[in-house]
Amino acid sequence: WVTEEELVPLAVFLARVSLTPSARLAFRLFQLEPELVFLFHYNSAHFSSVQECLSSSEFTEHIRKVMTVIDAAVRSLDSLPSLEEYLTGLGRKHRATGVKLESFNTVGESLLYALESGLGDTFTPDARAAWSRLYAIVVSAMSRGWWR
């Protein structure tokens, strides 16, 4: 269903077009962990390829949801505990989707990749460390909801 032959031309194609940060995140996610495509299915239909998943509106919408959560965390830097209940609930919902906790790290790496490749030198080591910490805070709150 997903082969090196499929991913390589896709990578060449994507490198030529100007990508939004969300598209960079999504592409990197499947480059690092292609099996994740199985967890995204809508109306009981599974995607038959990464390419199909990447171009579906439901999956694009999920990436937007991820970005919205990160954005909410950035906006609530001074009051992160106020997001605790929402984030633990979100973690609990994700356990039901069959995702493994470790896969959240892949999303984090993909986020850093999207920022780095989009911002270039502006994305300093300090900025990288700050984003990495912020994402870790979000994921640790989601993880606290895992067994509740």
Contact set with ligand HEM (CB under 6 A):
36, 39-40, 58, 62, 65-66, 69-70, 90, 93-94, 97, 99, 103-104, 107, 138
Neighbours of 113 (CB within 10 A): 18
What H or E segment, with its residue span, contains residue 50? Answer: helix 50-54
Over its C-alpha atoms, the chain yields an Rg (Å, rounded) of 16
Q: What is the 3-state secondary structure (H, E, C) of 80-118?
A: HHHHHHHHHHHHHHHHHHCCCCCHHHHHHHHHHHHHHHH
Q: Which is nearer to ligand HEM, 10 or 87 (CB)?
A: 87
Q: Which is nearer to ligand HEM, 76 or 124 (CB)?
A: 76
Q: Which is nearer to ligand HEM, 10 or 47 (CB)?
A: 47
State in angstroms the smallest separation of the CB of 2 from ligand HEM. 15
State in angstroms the smallest separation of the CB of 55 from ligand HEM. 15
Phi-psi region for residue 90, left (φ > 0), alpha (ψ -120 to 50) or beta? alpha
State in angstroms the smallest separation of the CB of 52 from ligand HEM. 15
Measure the CA–CA gap between 22 and 60, rounded to whole angstroms. 8
Pairs from 126-134 (Cβ < 8 Å, separation ≥ 24): 132/108, 134/70, 134/73, 134/74, 134/77
State in angstroms the smallest separation of the CB of 37 from ligand HEM. 9
Q: Which is nearer to ligand HEM, 53 or 124 (CB)?
A: 53
Q: Which is nearer to ligand HEM, 58 or 85 (CB)?
A: 58
State in angstroms the smallest separation of the CB of 121 from ligand HEM. 27
